[in-house]
Amino acid sequence: MMDLYISTKLFPDLLCDMVLWKAYHNHIPMAGLIGNANEGSLRSSEVRWLRRGELWDDLFSLIEQTAAQVGWEIFEMQDLCLEPIQFTTYMPECYYGWHRDWSDQNERRLSFSVQLDDPSDYTGGDLEFQEVPMKDNQRLKGTFFLFKSEVLHQVTPVTKGSRHSLVGWFK
């Protein structure tokens, strides 16, 4: 059984652009700092929370339908329940160190990430999975990653530009 599913360009460019615009114009950003800055934090980014409702119903439906199909065919999981979606901005020097999305407290089963920017818009900011070499085409705008929440992964520091992504979890 696989731990990671990747579909390049699953989200059309126009949809990625619309998500960027709507998230920036309808949601207030919050700091995404986890850990103690003096001791080296695990994460540095800006987040906005997208919740189910008229503004985001189509997006939730698309992600839920994709995850339901792939979740069963690839991961043999069903009855997935999507949590609120996180819109994340990584500006220069922002990152998210090695981590898992699953814990005894949250019991997440599958996680996803969607690349919202063209790879030429930023440098660094690579989504990496432990023991899984990434290919250049996996940085393409609209690429969808679905993976088991216990898989160790990180986002490397952005060195130029800004990287935007959708991130979410299924219980």
* Domain segments of the chain as ranges: 4-170
R_g of the chain computed on alpha carbons: 15
Residue 68 φ/ψ, nearest 5 degrees: -65, -45
So what's the pLDDT on residue 37? 45
So what's the pLDDT on residue 143? 96
Q: pTM for the full model?
A: 0.91
Give the H or E element holding residue 75: none
Torsion sign, CA atoms 140, 142, 143, 147: positive
Residue indicated by tokens 């990430």: 113
Low-confidence residues of the chain, pLDDT below 70? 1, 32-41
Which residues make Cβ contacts (< 8 Å) with residue 165, sequence separation at least 6?
87, 88, 90, 113, 114, 115, 116, 127
Fold designation for 4-170: Jelly Rolls (2.60.120)
162: nearest Cα among 128, 121, 114: 121
So what's the pLDDT on residue 28? 86
